Amino acid sequence: MSVATDLVSIDEIRAAAGRIERYAVRTPLLAPPLGRPMGTGWAGLYLKPEVLQPMGAFKIRGAVNAVAALDPEVRARGVVAHSSGNHAQAVAFAARAFGIAAHIVIPENAPTRKVEATRAYGATVDLVPVAERVTRAEQVVRETGMTMIPPFDHRDVIAGQGTIGLEIAEDTADLGEPIAAVLVPVSGGGLISGIAAALAALAPEVAVIGVEPELAGDAAESFRAGRRIAWRAEDTGRTCADGLRVPCVGELTWAHIRSYVRDIITVTEDEILAATRALALDERIVAEPSGATSVAAHLFHGAELPTGARVAVVSGGNIDPALLARLLCGS
């Protein structure tokens, strides 16, 4: 693969913005709250709340763009996806929006709420053992002629997620203070790849920093080693951040990470849950643990980050209600 020619361009990201504007919310950039006592940790942090998307997560951007970009005859045959939850919902949403069938393969350890939401969009859902999520989806493609919409390692998906970076670049230009870093949760790498590609073109002085759970730190380890390193699914499955359990970043996303990302750091389970709780109680933003990892990096690992104002991408809000109740009750 030629890295120089295979990276997603800013023109692709701008084209994606046009395709998705009818379906995805242009989420605001929320400024640090005024009047907050010093030492609470929120100073200098802007939030990009992708929890406001129709299906509660950023994944709608890439899924809609990928489905919209298909040839109409190909699209009419329907689409297939495999996902632990948010991409599943996003592809189901996109399929319903375009009036086509969707067949979604979901690992059996995915949160029930995400499974039910995917079915509610009208998709056919297969619940399979974690190790079979990809092979079962590929089998459906062979049997039906439907088109696979991968969760991250696909240039139309990356371009769709890159519209977040496009919006950040446009909105931070009017802040009156420079942004030092954008903090992005990392799973398969589609989100950080798209954001980094957009910012490399529009605001190259901004550092893009990935954030992962310690218990699913394959991308951080890969970044340190300079090569892709896969973790076992049973190891990444330990983290409460269910949307970040992918064992390895993709080949195309790795090319973007290697070219554009400044660093990838890890956060603990306690830090993730504390950030999830703080977002709800301090900022009135309901985030799932996966979406709160970026905030955990700011709150607990500031010394590892560039000095100055930061943007945290809060990537999703589809939290399990029982977990949210426990966090709000302080248990």
- Catalytic annotation, pick one of 2, 193, 315, 331: 315
Radius of gyration (C-alpha) of the chain in whole angstroms:
18
Q: How far is CA 135 from the centre of its chain?
A: 23
CB 65 within 8 A of CB 156: yes
* Residues present in the chain in total: 331
Provide the pairing of β-strand 102-107 with 79-82.
parallel
* Residue environment code for 112-135, b if the CB has 16+ CB neighbours within 10 A, otherwise e: ebbbebbbebebebbebebeebbe
d(CA 149, CA 53): 19
Nearest residue to 197 (alpha-carbon basis) of 239, 233, 169: 169
Catalytic (active site) residue 114? no
Nearest residue to 23 (alpha-carbon basis) of 169, 160, 117, 184: 160
Catalytic (active site) residue 259? no
d(CA 71, CA 86): 24
d(CA 306, CA 209): 9
Nearest residue to 82 (alpha-carbon basis) of 104, 112, 60: 104
Q: Strand, helix or coil at 47?
A: strand
Q: Strand, helix or coil at 138?
A: helix
- Catalytic annotation, pick one of 59, 114, 193, 290: 59
Note every long-range contact of 322-330, with CB atoms under 8 Å and residues 24 or more positions apart, other chains counting.
Answer: 323/240, 323/289, 324/280, 324/286, 327/273, 327/276, 327/277, 327/280, 328/277, 328/280, 328/281, 330/277
d(CA 320, CA 328): 12
- Report the catalytic residues: 59, 315
